[in-house]
Amino acid sequence: MPEHTSWLTLILGYMHETLDANAHAFGTTVLQHAEPSWHSFEPIAASLLVTLIVLFVAVSAGGKLKQADDAVVPEDQLTLRTFAEAFLSYFYDLAKSVMDAERAKKYFPLIATAALFVFFANVLALVPGMPVATSSLSITLGCALVVFVCFNAYGLATNGFGYVKHLAGPAWYLAPLVFPIELIGLCVRPVTLAVRLFLNMSVDHLILGIFLGLVALLVPIPLMVLGVLIVVIQTLVFTLLTCIYIGLATEHEAH
């Protein structure tokens, strides 16, 4: 993503001297081995903004759902509560379709958090001048690594050493061949999660920014409609893969 593309960049620019002085704590970049600058703080600040939005939705909707009378009677207009109910109900049904209801309920906090974070981070791409956390590979990789660590921890907690043993294949004499392949496939999962989300949102945000810069009225509308579709699809794909990985890691609990 090009720099200086959001109002967050301007806000951080007022603190660039302090940020530059502390940027060395990041170390060099993994791919280019470049020294970080105060711009390196923008994806982190954008992700913190998304986190605050998710917390606001959770507290606002959760507070209303705790009231028994209000929770039973549905509201007649779109509010944070109705949005949260529809959004979370859809992804809970999605989780149940991948694994059984018991496991879906048990692991739904991670699934719901991932869905909400990715959704709101992607939605910001549709608002001109807003920062897009998921257009940074560091943020998408961080999200993918959280999912990676959690589903492996769930698998170990559920199946113990059997979770590692199943990577060696059905027969011991196949272990030297199967285990490296399974291990590579397991380690590739967070990479594919991160890169898919990063590339789709980066390209979508870049193209929309270009057309908004060329023609600000009417012309970008079809692209924004396409952007809405991309936001929904990427949220669905990330959450679906999270459900699948958790389901595969914990499947021996049900069988």
Separation CA 26–CA 203 (nearest Å): 26
Residue with tokens 């921890």: 153
> In the predicted model, what is the mean pLDDT of residues 154-180?
84
Tell me which of 55 and 210 has the higher pLDDT. 55
Q: Per mean pLDDT, which range of 129-138, 152-161, 246-255 is the poorest?
A: 246-255
Nearest to 243 by CA among 82, 58, 114: 114
Could you give the CA distance from residue 75 to residue 116 in angstroms, rounded to a whole number? 21
Q: What percent of the chain has pLDDT over 90?
A: 30
36's CB contacts (< 8 A; 6+ apart) are 23, 24, 26, 27, 28, 29
Q: What residue has token string 């380690």?
A: 187
pLDDT digits 0-9 by tens, 20-72: 666 666 666 655 566 776 667 788 888 999 999 999 988 888 776 666 555 55
The mean of the pLDDT values for the chain is 81
| C-alpha pair distances (Å), 45 with each of 131, 142, 197, 203 | 9, 14, 19, 21
